Every structure is written in C-alpha cells, then in structure tokens.
Amino acid sequence: MQTQKPTALVTGASRGIGRGIAEGLAEEGYAVAINYVRNRAAAEEVADGIRNKGGESLLVQGDVGDREDRTRIVEETVRDLGRIDLLVNNAGIAPKVRLDILETTEESFDYVLGTNLKAQYFITQDVAKRMIEWKKEGVVEAPRIVFITSISAYAGSRNRTEYCISKAGASMTAMSYAMRLAEEGIPVFEIRPGLTQTDMVEKVKEKYDRLISEGVVPQRRWGYPEDVAKVVRAIGRGDLDFSTGEVIEVAGGYFLKEL
C-alpha cells in the first residue's frame, strides 16, 4: 500500500501517548504506521479509527527493544508505505516493580534501558541513514524525528531510578542526533511529558492526584495524550523546523520554581 501521503512511524502507538500521537498525525494528513508489541486488538482499534475518518494506517508488530524486531519494524513500514517522513520514538516501559535504588536488579535495569534508551538510539540510527538518502533522492522532502522522553529526564525518583536514567539518556540521544543531523536538514526534537493520564500511572494515580492538588503541577491538572499530540502535530506540519534540538516540556509548568 504505497501512499502519496507523508508517512509517520510511531513506536508504542496502541495506547496512551502513542495512540494520541498516531491519531493526531492522521488528522494532519499523515499515513501512520502503528507499532505495537502484544495488544493487537488495541492497535487495530487505533488503526480502524484512523481509517474510519478517511486516513491511512498500517499495523506493525514488534518489540523495539529486540534488535531483529526493530529492524523488521522499519523494513515493513518502508515496504508497505514507501518511506518514513516522521519518526516518533514514543515506546517506553516502566520497571515491573518499583524498587529502592539499593535493591534495583540488573535485570530490571537492562529491561528498562533496552526499550527506553537503546532502542531509541538504534532505531533512529537506522531511520536517519535512510532519511539522508531519501532527502538526497527527493523521496522525502522534509524528514523529521521526535523523541518522547519525560520530566523524569531531570526529576529523580529513588524507587525507579532505572526509568529516570533511561529518560536522561534518551534526552542526550535526542540532542546528539539533533547535532549530527542539523547539517543534513533533518530537525530533531525532544518532548518531555509530565504527569500524563495513561494506564502506565494507574498504580500510583492516587499519589499523583494528591501531588497535583497540592500544586506540584502549577496548572493543577493532569496532562493528557492529546496535549503531547498537539506538539507532535506542530512538528509534523513543519512549524518548528528552524528549532532543531529544542526540548519542549508538556507538563503544566512543572519546571517552574518559586520561592
């Protein structure tokens, strides 16, 4: 199904922030490759919703944390859609169990960093090389790359340190690719969501409800996937093309400090 539309590959797009981004990009006129790992029903729901509104979508199963899957995800997207105009590195996982830093296991560390850091580093490397060639050949006019990280890139948590380290590393990965790809005319952006209402935070929702009510988020509300999607949509339209390397926080003013 080679498409005439610009195309986007969104990793981890079957739920939460990824789903919001996929749906938003489809509304911007993108054909969207919806990557998922296990929940095909959820991914199909996203794809069907896009198609029902006249958009184009493609399901691409695979775990970006696995080298062979990661390669296949890119290959299948290119094979079926023809190219990738926009890569959105969204897939992310939390530790299976939150443990104090003195108890964190190597298995948990490797598990979290494998998806949240290593996968983003290497899938971007693969796609960026292709984008450079596509741009030279006139296949892709305006390639772009987005990293979805987190306020946990700088806000520590003593009982899920591997997650915070992975996001800090992803932040530097985004900066590094922005530096390297600027001369190629490929802008790279980092988006840092704050407390966002998705199933990832359900187990600790009461804690964050309290913190939000106490003002840890100055705007005193949860973020939603569509808040992040709005920024990705602007990037996808080319509104921020001369702002490569920018870190855009979508967190209700969390970074603001007041004495």
- Which of the residues are catalytic? 163
DSSP annotation of 215 reads T
How many helices (H) and strands (E) the chain has is answered by: 8, 7
Strand locations in the chain (E): 7-10, 31-36, 57-61, 86-89, 144-148, 188-193, 247-250
The alpha carbon of 30 is separated from its chain's Cα centroid by a whole number of angstroms, namely: 16
- Report the alpha-carbon angle 185-35-54, nearest 5: 85
- The three-class DSSP label of residue 231 is helix
Nearest to 190 by CA among 144, 249, 132, 142: 249
